[in-house]
C-alpha cells in the first residue's frame, strides 16, 4: 500500500506528492511472570520495532490473556507500582465468597475483573525508529494472578 507522506509546490510551480510504501511487521513475545505484579516489557517491544525497519508509525501491543493486562505507567518510582497493586486489590479483592467463577482458583475471577478495568492493548507512536514513550514511561505487563504464568504479547508495527 502506498501512502501520501507529504505534498507541496515544486520549484517549477507544479504540485508534487511524496509517496512511501506502508510497511507492516508483526512479532510475538513470550513473557514469563513471577506472579502478581508489573513486568516492564518496553525493551523487548522496542527490539521488535527495530526489527521492523519502520521509522515513523504506530506500535500496537496486545496481550492474549484475560487475567493479565497492559498499562503504560511511570518507570522511575517503584512506589507507583506498589500503590497500583494496593489500589487494584481494593477494587477487585481476592474473596472466595464474592464470586461464582473460581475454575482456576480464588485468584481467577479477581484476575478477570482487574484485566477488565485495565487494558488488553496499548498503542505507542514510533518516531525515528523508536517507541515514543515519555521520559518516565514504560510498557508493563500486569499479571493479576498469584502464580507465575507465561503470557503472550502480539506486537504489531506499521508505518513508513
Separation in Å, CA 84 to CA 71, 79, 156: 11, 8, 27
More confident residue, 17 or 108: 108
Residue 120's pLDDT is 97
Cell (9 digits) for 39: 513486568
User: Is the CB of residue 54 less than 8 Å from the CB of residue 126?
Assistant: yes
Give burial (CB, 10 Å; 0-12/13-18/19+) of 71. middle
Cell (9 digits) for 10: 515544486
Separation in Å, CA 70 to CA 31, 37, 48, 53, 147: 12, 11, 17, 24, 18
Residue 96's pLDDT is 85
Under the banding of pLDDT at 50, 70 and 90, the label for residue 5 is low
Would you kindly state where each structural domain of the chain is located, as residue ranges? 23-159
Q: Above 70 in pLDDT, residue 15?
A: no
Give tens-digit pLDDT for 27-44. Answer: 999 999 999 999 999 999
Residue 20's pLDDT is 80
Separation in Å, CA 15 to CA 1, 3, 7, 19, 21: 22, 16, 7, 13, 20
Give tens-digit pLDDT for 58-103. Answer: 999 999 999 999 999 999 999 999 999 999 999 999 998 999 998 9
Give tens-digit pLDDT for 97-144. Answer: 999 998 999 999 999 999 999 999 999 999 999 999 999 999 999 999
Task: State which fold the 23-159 domain adopts.
Answer: Jelly Rolls (2.60.120)
Q: Above 70 in pLDDT, residue 8?
A: no
More confident residue, 111 or 17: 111
pTM for this entry: 0.87
Amino acid at each position: 500500500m502506498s501512502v501520501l507522506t507529504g505534498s507541496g509546490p515544486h520549484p517549477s510551480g507544479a504540485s508534487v506528492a511524496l509517496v512511501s510504501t506502508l510497511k507492516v511487521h508483526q512479532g510475538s513475545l513470550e513473557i514469563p511472570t513471577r506472579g502478581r505484579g508489573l513486568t516492564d516489557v518496553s525493551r523487548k517491544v522496542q527490539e521488535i520495532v527495530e526489527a521492523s525497519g519502520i521509522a515513523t508509525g504506530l506500535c500496537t501491543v496486545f496481550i492474549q490473556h484475560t487475567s493479565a493486562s497492559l498499562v503504560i505507567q511511570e518507570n522511575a518510582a517503584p512506589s507507583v507500582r506498589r500503590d497500583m497493586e494496593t489500589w487494584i486489590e481494593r477494587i477487585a479483592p481476592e474473596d472466595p465468597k464474592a464470586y461464582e467463577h473460581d475454575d482456576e482458583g480464588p485468584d481467577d475471577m479477581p484476575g478477570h475483573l482487574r484485566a477488565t478495568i485495565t487494558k488488553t492493548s496499548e498503542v505507542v507512536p514510533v518516531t525515528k525508529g523508536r517507541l515514543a514513550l515519555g521520559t518516565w514511561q514504560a510498557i508493563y505487563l500486569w499479571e493479576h494472578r498469584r502464580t507465575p504464568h507465561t503470557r503472550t504479547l502480539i506486537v504489531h508495527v506499521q508505518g513508513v
